[in-house]
């Protein structure tokens, strides 16, 4: 394969014969976005995680980049599938939904949080992989354009933490769950959404080679056309390399790896010697941490994290507890 070094080379690599979104070549929209993000104090960095609206004809280059970039935390979960499956939480018979469909990006940490829950509770679900550029698979959802969206026997659920709360209530209809969800569990679920998740992008797009590694995974697992795949890999990697620097600033991260290692150590400390935060079994906080880390675990940043911190043992226990996914590709 041709060796590509540096952002200009990446740009050249995608400058020929690329597809367009709303009349704009994708690569130029992504690169404009990346460059804009280096000049703007606020919006580009913010937009990776915030609400995105549908791409319309008059939206800027940045919108296209973010539509793709919003997908760009990835799951190498498939690689991580373990043979041994045990310690599964038995699902009470009252909650046996007939039809569960998850609209997702394979790489999205929020989606992976929901999947960790579904996998752990052995709830069979179909996956609809959404194309982040056209979002045509969720066109039917007028009021909500992000993923995950979960349909449970016709009931639409959005927002990963709300989805998990709703499912947990269905699994424990006697309300036992909300009684047992203690402050510790709530606190750490909040830590995942408000802290851990923000450290991930700066790490996986830290260097051009890590950004390319990440996009290699995304483009091979996401829902892209052939031409989109080629373009998005290089243009997306370059765009997110720049955007991740803005995210670093926004979340006051001085060194992204240090922040990741500190978060991993903080989590291990929170376990206080227990197998899981939930004790002998994972609770919702365990599932949330595991879910958002799953996309990065086998990327360089995840490998470094396991090598340089004590999180590996807990992570392996979680892989065993969550087990293989009962998902079905729709």
Ligand X SMILES: N[C@@H](CCC(=O)N[C@@H](CS)C(=O)NCC(=O)O)C(=O)O
Residue ranges that bind ligand X, judged by CB under 6 A: 49, 52, 67, 70-71, 105, 108, 110, 132, 146-148, 159-161
The structure tokens 């998850």 sit at 102
> CB of residue 34 vs ligand X: minimum separation in angstroms?
16
> For ligand X, which is the closer residue by CB, 148 or 222?
148
Beta 149-152 vs 328-329: how paired, if at all? unpaired
> CB of residue 126 vs ligand X: minimum separation in angstroms?
18
> For ligand X, which is the closer residue by CB, 138 or 277?
138
> For ligand X, which is the closer residue by CB, 108 or 240?
108
User: Which member of 31, 52, 111, 261 is catalytic?
Assistant: 111
> For ligand X, which is the closer residue by CB, 132 or 202?
132
31 is catalytic: no
What residue is closest to ligand X based on CB? 70
User: Which member of 11, 31, 103, 110 is catalytic?
Assistant: 110
User: Which member of 31, 52, 108, 224 is catalytic?
Assistant: 108
> For ligand X, which is the closer residue by CB, 52 or 188?
52
> CB of residue 298 vs ligand X: minimum separation in angstroms?
19
110 is catalytic: yes
> CB of residue 253 vs ligand X: minimum separation in angstroms?
19
Non-local CB neighbours of 4 within 8 Å, separated by 6+ positions: 10, 13, 234
Which sequence positions are flagged as catalytic?
A: 105, 108, 110-111
């Amino acid at each position: 394969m041709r060796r590509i070094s540096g952002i200009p080379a990446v740009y050249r690599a995608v400058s020929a014969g690329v597809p367009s979104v709303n009349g704009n070549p994708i690569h130029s929209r992504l690169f404009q976005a990346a460059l804009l993000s280096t000049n703007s104090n606020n919006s580009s960095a913010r937009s990776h995680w915030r609400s995105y609206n549908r791409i319309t004809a008059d939206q800027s280059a940045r919108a296209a980049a973010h539509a793709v970039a919003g997908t760009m935390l990835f799951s190498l979960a498939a690689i991580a599938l373990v043979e041994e499956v045990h310690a599964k939480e038995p699902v009470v018979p009252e909650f046996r939904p007939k039809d569960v469909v998850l609209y997702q990006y394979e790489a999205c940490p929020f989606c992976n949080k929901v999947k960790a829950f579904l996998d752990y509770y052995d709830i069979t679900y179909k996956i609809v992989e959404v194309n982040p550029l056209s979002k045509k698979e969720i066109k039917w959802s007028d009021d909500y354009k992000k993923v995950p969206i979960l349909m449970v026997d016709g009931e639409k659920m959005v927002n990963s933490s709300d989805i998990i709360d709703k499912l947990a209530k269905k699994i424990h209809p006697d309300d036992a769950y909300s009684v047992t969800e203690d402050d510790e569990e709530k606190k750490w679920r909040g830590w995942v959404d408000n802290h851990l998740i923000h450290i991930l992008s700066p790490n996986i797009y830290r260097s051009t080679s890590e950004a390319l590694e990440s996009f290699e995974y995304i483009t091979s697992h996401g829902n892209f056309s052939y031409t989109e795949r080629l373009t998005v890999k290089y243009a997306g990697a370059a765009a997110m390399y720049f955007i991740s620097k803005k995210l670093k600033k926004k979340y006051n991260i001085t060194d992204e790896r240090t922040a990741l290692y500190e978060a991993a150590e903080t989590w291990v400390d929170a376990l206080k010697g227990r197998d899981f935060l939930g004790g002998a079994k994972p609770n919702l906080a365990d599932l949330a941490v595991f879910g958002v880390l799953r996309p990065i675990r086998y990327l360089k940043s995840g490998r470094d994290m396991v090598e340089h911190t004590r999180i590996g043992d807990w992570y392996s226990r979680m892989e065993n507890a969550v087990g293989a996914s009962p998902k079905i590709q729709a």
